[in-house]
Homo-oligomer: A and B are copies of this chain.
Amino acid sequence: MLSLSLTGLKLKNPLILAAGIMGTTGGSLKRATEGGAGGVVTKSIGVEPKSGHSNPSMVEVDCGYMNAMGLPNPSYKNFQKEIDLARECGVPVIASIFGANADEFSEIAGTLHADAFELNVSCPHACGYGAQVGSDPALVEEITKSVKSATTAPVWVKLTPNVTDIKSIGLAAQRGGADAVVAINTVRAMAIDIESGYPILGNKFGGLSGKAIKPIAIKCVYDLYEALQIPVIGVGGISDWKDAVEFMMAGARAVQIGSAVGNNINIFNDISSCMEAFLEDKVWTLDDLYGMAHKK
């Protein structure tokens, strides 16, 4: 009832583990599939091993979380075995990758084997990576193009909300041949310890995730759905089935779940069963939800 085909991948449900969440080891990706995820995205993987920013790298704030991990990762050269382990579970494994330029992106995508690639051009706190490349439509188009020619796997492009016009970045990804866009990555943010005046994060600022950003993400998805022909995958602040439904009504074909996994790894199963009950009750299908808010 919840199954779908997304950029050629078969998903048993539209609920995907978001990048950077329990995504560094094959074992942890596996655990998310046991929790019911219809697909899993890995931690963003780069060219060289990276240890990330110093701690504190994540803090709970009033209505969500702020993090500045700094893209810690073992590099793609050490990562194939984790992907392979995760693929044993039979759900699509999407490799999130990042680089400073098109060459780095395509070096990784040309070597790693995964069911799809998600291009992280949206991390707000990685100097020279992420949103620093993802705010420029020309760069996004070029990177997408080069990855598309390096791999035959579907390519998703993950967008940052920290831009004046997210549609223009989505359109650039589409021109570059992206099979889908993912929105949104975290929102630029900061917290200061008033006892000392120190910014709390080791990196001083970071990205906001969780409940706080849901209304921002919904608006981005709504706008992208109107502007693009390719599917939009929604992410940002989903913590229950109602949030997931809201994203799909805004125009998301599928959704990803990040921060909320911390308190409930089985959230994918929980949302699936509630969503099924809701659809039955309303006598609706997934397709009915899809973009419903645009018809009102």
Give me the interface of A with B, judged by CB distance under 8 Å.
61-64, 66, 135, 162-164, 187-192, 194, 196-199, 205, 208, 211-216, 218-219, 222, 237, 242, 245-246, 249-250, 289, 292-293, 295-296
By a CB distance below 8 angstroms, the chain B residues around A61 are: 214-215
Known A63-B211, A163-B164: A245·B189 in contact at CB below 8 Å: no
Known A215-B189, A215-B208: A194·B63 in contact at CB below 8 Å: no
- Copy tally for this chain in the complex stands at 2
By a CB distance below 8 angstroms, the chain B residues around A214 are: 61-62
By a CB distance below 8 angstroms, the chain B residues around A250 are: 190, 192
Known A197-B292, A296-B198: A218·B246 in contact at CB below 8 Å: no
A110 CB, nearest partner CB in chain B, Å:
30
Which of the residues B190, B197, B216, B289 comes within 8 Å of A187, measured between beta carbons? Answer: B216
Q: Is the CB of B296 within 8 A of A249?
A: no
By a CB distance below 8 angstroms, the chain B residues around A63 are: 62-64, 211-212
By a CB distance below 8 angstroms, the chain B residues around A163 are: 163-164
Q: Is the CB of B215 within 8 A of A293?
A: no
* CA gap between A231 and B20 in the complex, in Å: 38
